[in-house]
Structure 1
Amino acid sequence: MSIWWSLHLRREAASVPLARRLLVGTMETAGVDPEVLYDLSVALSEACANAVEHGGPHATSESSGAYRVTAYLDGEKCRIEVADSGPGIAPLRGRTAPRQAPDDAEHGRGLGLIHALADHVDVATKPGRPGTVVSFDKLLKWRKDTPLMAV
């Protein structure tokens, strides 16, 4: 089974639960295991929250007030991409995951959570061009009672 969808959302806090609800509804209907579904929905919420907070505006971008979410469920894997038109983020400089924020910090945990919840994470920015794409993958497990088992 293969399912994919893409959303073009305004950079507003209200867009985060919208993206999460679409992902949860799609994955519940497809029969994805609730534990995997929870991990992916939290990771998606963090990536969307980062796009809303840090994703623009950029003076040369027509879509500076928006970001894009794309999800692919393909067989045994789910891949999610969240793309914005902001200034980008600093490179990880040889690290594979961001530094952990202090326990009492109110911000700075998003990418760390995504790394903890997903099987593979990629954060891409292109020098000289606005925008960041956060993409992450997770292997899927299926409920035993699902009619749409991965084939």
Structure 2
Amino acid sequence: MSSLWWSLRLRREASSVPLARKLLLESMESARVDPEIAYELSLALSEACANAVEHGEADDPGAYRVSAYLDGDRCRIEVADSGPGFARGARGCSRAEPSRSQVAWDAEHGRGLFLIESLADHVRFRNRPGSGGAVVSFDKVLRPGGGTLLPAS
């Protein structure tokens, strides 16, 4: 099987989220990924990007990074920002590490990370070492709608 990889450095603006989502959907379509799975991953990506836009460093309009890897029957996505990261103990970060039991069904905020967990097979939330910021990584097994994924080279 062949593989596909891309990485974007996007401005921390709401208008950047649809760009990342569109690139992922087009990549999945060219790889002949089942449209339902492609939609689920694009929704998870949108949530991760929206979190990066919202929680990035307030006084830094800067950027965030989105990477996607389609390799064989798996897709891995990573979104990294420059914000305060996830809280660990009493570090005083503005964003707590998600927990399914902490999110109310009618909450106005905080459901994005829960949604990512629900749509992906494996999710990892961590802080970037050194420079700060949060990293959300998730992957999913791709089940083709018909035929193989990414034609062999």
Could you say which TM-score interval applies, normalised by the shorter chain? Answer: 0.7 to 0.9
TM-score w.r.t. structure 1 length?
0.85
TM-score w.r.t. structure 2 length?
0.84
Contact 1:97 1:112 in 2 (8 A): yes
Percent of pairs with identical residues:
63
Q: Tell me the equivalent position of 1:46.
A: 47
- Deviations 1:13-49, CA, capped at 9 Å, x for gaps: 0001110000001101110001110110010000000
Contact 2:98 2:114 in 1 (8 A): no
Matched, 1:66 2:63: yes
Structure 2 runs not aligned, ≥5 long: 90-96
Q: Which moved more, 1:1-10 or 1:127-136?
A: 127-136
Cα distance in 1 between the residues matched to 2:147 and 2:113: 33
- Deviations 1:78-119, CA, capped at 9 Å, x for gaps: 000000011111149xx9845442222211001100101101
Cα distance in 2 between the residues matched to 1:16 and 1:49: 7
RMSD: 2.4
Q: Tell me the equivalent position of 1:14.
A: 15
From 110, 116, 119, the equivalent of 1:117 is 119
Q: Tell me the equivalent position of 1:56.
A: 57
How many corresponding residue pairs?
145
Cα distance in 1 between the residues matched to 2:62 and 2:101: 28
Q: Tell me the equivalent position of 1:80.
A: 77
Cα distance in 1 between the residues matched to 2:130 and 2:141: 34
Cα distance in 2 between the residues matched to 1:96 and 1:46: 13
Give the 3-state SS of the residue equivalent to 2:51 in structure 1.
helix
